[in-house]
Amino acid sequence: MTLALEIPKLTIGSIREGLLKRRFSATELTREALRFAEAENPKTNAYLHFCPERALSAARSVDEKLARGEDPGLLAGVPVAVKDVIVTKGVRTTAASKMLADYIPPYDATAVECLDAAGAVILGKTNCDEFAMGSSNENSAFGPVRNPVDPERVPGGSSGGSAAAVAQGTAVVSLGSDTGGSVRQPASFCGVVGLTPTYGRVSRYGLIAFASSLDHIGVVARNVSDTATLLQVIAGRDERDSTSAAVPVPDYMAALNGGVRGMKIGLPREYFKDPDSETSKLVLDGVEVLKRLGCEVREISMPHTEYAVAAYYIICTAEASSNLARYDGVRYTFRSRDSETLADMYRNTRGEGFGAECKRRIMLGTYVLSAGYYDAYYLKAQKVRTLIARDFTEAFREVDALIAPVSPFPAFKLGEKLDDPMQMYLSDIYTITASLAGVPCMSVPCGVTSGGLPVGMQILTRHFDEAGMLRLAYAFERNRA
């Protein structure tokens, strides 16, 4: 097979083998990967821009290491896409917002530095909802992303471009960000694997802030083993992010083969409110596979689940209103022209630079933090957050992992939910609980609906038990029909 034909099917393992056997060089691979991605991208709009110079220079350094007989790194030559809310030195980073349309960061995010050090080749930056606010990728200032499985449908959001690129084969793996489901839900909608680690497992340094207590960098890949490798590369303590945890990083790839017999699994009743839906059925079929592998499955209850959407949309908007205050036309690129006074300049810049969803969240967030409303909304939501986290703590006393749907339904049509923000928010019901509790979670493909749309099964484990979660996902992936 020629290299060009192989591109959409490459894995981290197959690239390593090809490089070591000298079937191709990293430079040849990068050239082909860029050509393929640039040609295919108009079908989905997954990438906002490419960075060929940076990619080819990374590839050259892998080839030089190989020529010297040095270890080229875990991700040597692997074409990677990075969500455009993660900063890249010298490469435009827009957060899919007009506000940052021309922003060229002077530094790399820590996760990006880790990719570089592991020999990865960043091809470009992926589209998303503006400042990662959304569930369909329709809030991008640069046009929506189309789902590669069905171009009339959304890829999910906010990391829609990162999931679509991997599903389409224009990246082997990608980085996304997840504040309330933005890695898991698009992975589920596009039929790929998406993992959000424990809060603190991966540095947020260089991740453009949306809601700092909820923001995570996560990973997308076409299989569980590539997911484990990518997580391995980016996990760990970082002095530049005080919320990153000084917890040792285990060998995730080694953990994959551990076996799952005897593992205790909980099915939270509140996540299967509609057991007859196609989505629930596919997830429950997946649970049967795990039973066959010797997992002990039981139903459990997580009683505060129903309050999660309300609490999340208060906390995330409050934090967003504060984080987005910095975009005032003074420091970050976009500035409205022709304002008479400084106050006008602020107003006009924010009025013109932010899209509708960002404005909605800034207003909502400012309201819930304001004097007189703080106790009724923000403080109450924080208390609910504690109760939701406690549901997880109690569940994990009884079981090792939880299984749930990722989303109540598969990918919906472009435009279908745009007029009703409330419906859009409610669709996050199964993903935001884990975000509020900070536990690791992932979506693994578990089948397709009668209409051919992918559905993901969500796996959640205890804080810092990404290894157990990946082991379960790997066993599932290898044994599902």
Judged by the rule CB under 6 A, the positions of this chain that interact with ligand GLN are: 132-135, 158, 178-182, 210, 316, 428
Q: Catalytic: 83?
A: yes
Q: Catalytic: 264?
A: no
Cβ burial 311-348 (10 Å sphere, 16+ → b, else e)? bbbbbbbbbbbbbbeebbbeebbbbbeeeeeeeebbeb
Are 287 and 267 a contacting pair, CB within 8 Å? yes
What is the distance between the alpha carbons of residues 150 and 154, in angstroms, rounded to a whole number?
Answer: 8
Closer residue to ligand GLN in complex, CB, 306/344: 306
Which helix or strand (DSSP H or E) is residue 388 part of? helix 380-398
Left (φ > 0), alpha (ψ -120 to 50) or beta: where does 50 sit? Answer: beta
Closer residue to ligand GLN in complex, CB, 132/220: 132
Closer residue to ligand GLN in complex, CB, 25/139: 139
Give burial (CB, 10 Å; 0-12/13-18/19+) of 199.
Answer: buried
Q: Which two tokens stand for residue 360?
A: 């909605």
Are 66 and 26 a contacting pair, CB within 8 Å? yes
Q: Cβ of residue 308: shortest distance to ligand GLN, in angstroms?
A: 12
Closer residue to ligand GLN in complex, CB, 52/408: 408
Q: Cβ of residue 182: shortest distance to ligand GLN, in angstroms?
A: 3
The CA R_g of the chain, rounded to the nearest whole Å, is: 21
Closer residue to ligand GLN in complex, CB, 58/132: 132
DSSP secondary structure letters along 90-122: TB---TT-GGGTT---SS--HHHHHHHHTT-EE
Q: Cβ of residue 329: shortest distance to ligand GLN, in angstroms?
A: 25
Q: Cβ of residue 131: shortest distance to ligand GLN, in angstroms?
A: 8
Backbone angles phi, psi at 180, to 5 degrees: -150, 15
- Identify the active-site residue in 25, 83, 135, 188: 83
- Identify the active-site residue in 25, 159, 174, 182: 182
Q: Which residue has the tokens 């020629």?
A: 2
Q: What residues form DSSP beta bridges with 149? A: none
Q: Which two tokens stand for residue 137?
A: 């990728």
Q: Cβ of residue 416: shortest distance to ligand GLN, in angstroms?
A: 15
Tell me the residue nearest to ligand GLN as measured from the CB: 182
DSSP helix/strand/coil, 433: helix
Q: Which two tokens stand for residue 388?
A: 């939701």
Q: Catalytic: 244?
A: no
- Identify the active-site residue in 97, 140, 158, 443: 158
Q: Cβ of residue 452: shortest distance to ligand GLN, in angstroms?
A: 24
Closer residue to ligand GLN in complex, CB, 155/181: 181
What is the distance between the alpha carbons of residues 189 and 445, in angstroms, rounded to a whole number?
Answer: 9
Closer residue to ligand GLN in complex, CB, 110/407: 407
Cβ burial 409-440 (10 Å sphere, 16+ → b, else e)? ebbbebebbeeeeeebbebbbbbbbbbbbbbb
What is the distance between the alpha carbons of residues 293 and 406, in angstroms, rounded to a whole number?
Answer: 22
Closer residue to ligand GLN in complex, CB, 218/454: 218
Return the active site residues. Answer: 83, 158, 182
